[in-house]
Amino acid sequence: MDIRFDKREAVYIQVIRYFKEQIAIGELKSGQEIPSRRELAQRLKINPNTVQRAYKEMEEEGLIYTDGNKPSMITKETGRIKEIRESLIDEAIDQFVDRITSLQIPKEQVFDLVQSKLNELGREDEEKHD
């Protein structure tokens, strides 16, 4: 677990985003236990109160749930997980589209560029796997 924190953004929001990303890519699985507030604070070297706040928000958003005194777990609602995934994709696309439209590049060129970039990344990945 490693987050590079942006010093100008609330730490708890960055922690939540990190969890969402991990859930979206399946690194954190549905029903999986998550570290205690203290453990996570210690691992990320951040304030336990901040972790507490992040967990509280995540609980309210239905990302995690806590059963009595047991450790908190990632939600088992697959619908919620799908939502998270979609909202992350949405966010990324929004950001991308935002930037690209401000550069006023024609649609066709954008598609081509994205295509070739993705192909390039794919090749790199394959090379790495070799």
Partner 1 sequence: MIKLTNIEKRYGRKKILNGVTFEADKGQITCLIGINGAGKTTILQSIMGLTPYQKGEITIDGEKLSPKMLEKITYIPDTMTLLPKMRIKDAFQFMDDFYQNWNGERAKEILEFFKLKEDERISQLSKGNTAKVNLLMGLAMEADYILMDEPFSGIDIFSREQIADVFSSHLVEDRGVIITTHEISDIEHLIDKAVLLADGAVKKEFMTEQVREEEGKSVIDVMREVYQG
Q: State the residues that interact with partner 1 by CB under 8 A.
A: 5, 7-13, 38, 41-42, 44-50, 53
**Closest separation in Å from C-beta 91 to partner 1:** 18
Using the minimum distance from each CB to partner 1, give the nearer residue, 60 or 126: 60
**Closest separation in Å from C-beta 66 to partner 1:** 18
Rounded Cα distance, 13 and 3, in Å: 12
Using an 8 Å Cβ cutoff, are 14 and 1 in contact?
no
State CA 42 to chain mean position distance.
20
**Closest separation in Å from C-beta 32 to partner 1:** 22
Using the minimum distance from each CB to partner 1, give the nearer residue, 41 or 64: 41
Opening angle at CA 23, ends 130 and 36, nearest 5: 115
**Closest separation in Å from C-beta 57 to partner 1:** 12
Using the minimum distance from each CB to partner 1, give the nearer residue, 26 or 71: 71
| CA-to-CA separations, 43 to 31, 50, 92, in angstroms, rounded | 21, 13, 27
Using the minimum distance from each CB to partner 1, give the nearer residue, 4 or 129: 4
Count of residues in the chain: 130
